[in-house]
Amino acid sequence: MPPKAKYTREEIVQIALELVSEKGIGALNARNLGTALGTSTRPVFTAFKNMNELIEEVKIAAMHKFEEYASNPTDSEAPAFKGVGMQMILFATEQPKLFQLLYMTENEQSVSFENIFTKLGETSQKCIDFIMRDYGLNKQEAMMLFRSLWLYTFSMGVLIASKVCRYDEEEVSTMLSQQFRAVLGFIKSGKAFEKTPPNMG
């Protein structure tokens, strides 16, 4: 009969998430987690097959944390899609180690943007719905706008989470608005899906 777990899987994941949030994914090993639990490493390997299984669960928990940010914009007067972008930047500012875990950890192999879109969970589809509703775009246009703004916002998040640059809330708001208007205007012009002439690269 297997030993009774002193901690549930959920409790271990939560403590592991707190450890990563404070010290980064590099600090998540059996010894450090055992110390954080106040036990030996045995409860970890009673609940999980190995550390890789635990790390995957921590990534899922970190994504849920991100979704909490994305679904609770601080500025209720901002357009819904912009509010999500602002929250993504806030997440990078307040939870840099979790942002790094989700978006700055090397994968075994590169994937398409569509794959990333799927992994973003409910947040990504909500953004598409907001864009289509608020700006009268079809799904293809909304996806183009989302991809452009997500890449822009993601880049800002990387700079913030890695402490390369610091932006205050007003700067972030202004920059997101400028980029949004530029891309939306390009889409509305009808030229967004035209093929680029060879001599223009």
Q: What is the number of other CB atoms lying within 10 angstroms of the CB of residue 116?
A: 14
Which amino acid type is present at position 77? E
Write the pLDDT tens digit of every residue in 150-188.
999 999 999 999 999 999 999 999 999 999 999 999 999
What the block records as the tokens of 143 is 């996806």
CA dist 124 and 178 (Å) reads: 21
pLDDT at 1 over 50: no
54-58, 84-88, 122-126, 186-190, range with the lowest pLDDT: 122-126
What the block records as the tokens of 19 is 């450890």
CA dist 185 and 39 (Å) reads: 58
pTM: 0.83
